[in-house]
Amino acid sequence: MMQEKMNSWQRTMAALSHQEADRVPIFLTLTIHGAKELDLSIQDYFAKPANVVEGQIRLQKKFGHDCLYSFYYAAAELIAWGGEAIFYDDGPPNAGPPVFKNFAQVRSATAPRVADSPLLQNILETIRQLKVQAKEEIPILGVAISPFSLPPMQLGFDQYLDLIFEERELFWHLMRLNIAFTIEWANAQLEAGATAIAYFDPVASPSLITPKIYQETGRDIARETIAGIKGATAFHFASGRCLDILDDIIASGTAAVAVSCVEDIEVIKEKCRGKITVIGNLNGIEMCTWDREMAEEKVRELIARAAAGGGFIVADNHGEIPLQVRDDVLFTIVEAVKKWGRYPILREQ
């Protein structure tokens, strides 16, 4: 039976409840596109919460997708630990040098407080202002990097692997610090008005470490952290694979999982059906070369394979759509979801 038209909030809540809404929700994870809308440099854009609020509101009204995205850039959390960000003209800011030069600095470290970070406070103000405008009509997505995936920025990846394999006691010391920080940061975003937290944990992916090592380390970290977050989370691998640890993800307490474009979305949807919502899995890099016809076909195929029965949200697979993706492609993605994503979904459409 055809559902009555819903707003973005209602549509998303239906997907998270494994129900069929009026149509499939579509999340465009647009960040630095806001700088382009306001004709600002990326660094200037992120300098003031009002800029990001205006950028997000304009982007949502322009494309008509179902979320507001309060994410600035991954290095924001590194900056709270004393690090820095490197800005570019046409891409997201990257993390500067690691904050821990050696293991001795890890041993003596203490976790920063969210209240002491001006940048994190700016992000919280962004969420508060977005909440005033969104009310209960558009969900606001916050972001927290998992305790298990923060160390590549804190230490560098080589030293982090040494920590995991050769200094397990010190590894757990750093995890205790990171868990406390991540829980505080995620909950601060929820208190400010975020609807849910995208829990980014790319190091957990079998694309980077073996399931055995994850089950010895990151699995319990995820369970403890997610249990401490006072709201819904979406486990995100930033385009990494997840199938080989999917049972662990389902058991983590998360409400949703974001799926890589290299995985079989049908297989994952079937394993997650009625348990956690599936998000994905359009290839954001390939989007840079799509035309309108290709964009519609990719969306149509994805919906046909994964949307039936609810519990599904269309999004890119990385968590941030490149600036180089053309506006006409983004318009087409949203239009195609509205065309092909109306419930009930026909398997052959």
What's the pLDDT tens digit per position in 211-228? 999 999 999 999 999 999
What is the mean predicted confidence (pLDDT) over 101-128?
Answer: 97
Q: Which residues contact 244 (CB under 8 A, 6 or more apart)?
A: 206, 211
Phi/psi at 320 (5° precision): -160, 115
With a cut of 80, say whether residue 348 has pLDDT above it.
no
| pLDDT value for 347 | 58
With a cut of 60, say whether residue 349 has pLDDT above it.
no
pLDDT band per the 50, 70, 90 thresholds, residue 145: very high
The lowest-confidence range among 220-224, 240-244, 252-256, 343-347 is 343-347
| pLDDT value for 125 | 98
Query: Using one digit for the tens of pLDDT, what is the confidence trace for 322-338?
Result: 999 999 999 999 999 99
Higher pLDDT, 2 or 175: 175
Judge contact between 142 and 189, C-beta under 8 A: yes
What is the mean predicted confidence (pLDDT) over 53-76?
Answer: 97
As given in the structure block, the two tokens for residue 241 are 């694979």
With a cut of 90, say whether residue 345 has pLDDT above it.
no
As given in the structure block, the two tokens for residue 146 are 């998992």
With a cut of 90, say whether residue 86 has pLDDT above it.
yes
| pLDDT value for 281 | 94
d(CA 324, CA 91): 9
Half-sphere exposure of 207 (CA within 13 A, CB side): 16
pLDDT band per the 50, 70, 90 thresholds, residue 3: low
With a cut of 60, say whether residue 53 has pLDDT above it.
yes
Phi/psi at 19 (5° precision): -115, 155
Residue length of the chain: 349
| pLDDT value for 1 | 46
With a cut of 80, say whether residue 346 has pLDDT above it.
no
d(CA 161, CA 43): 32
| Measured CA distances, 140 to 16, 29, 112 (Å) | 14, 11, 25
With a cut of 90, say whether residue 2 has pLDDT above it.
no
The pTM is what?
Answer: 0.96
Give me the CATH code for the 8-340 domain, please: 3.20.20.210
**How much is the mean pLDDT over the chain?**
96
Q: By CB neighbour count within 10 A (0-12 exposed, 13-18 middle, 19+ buried), where does 327 fall?
A: exposed
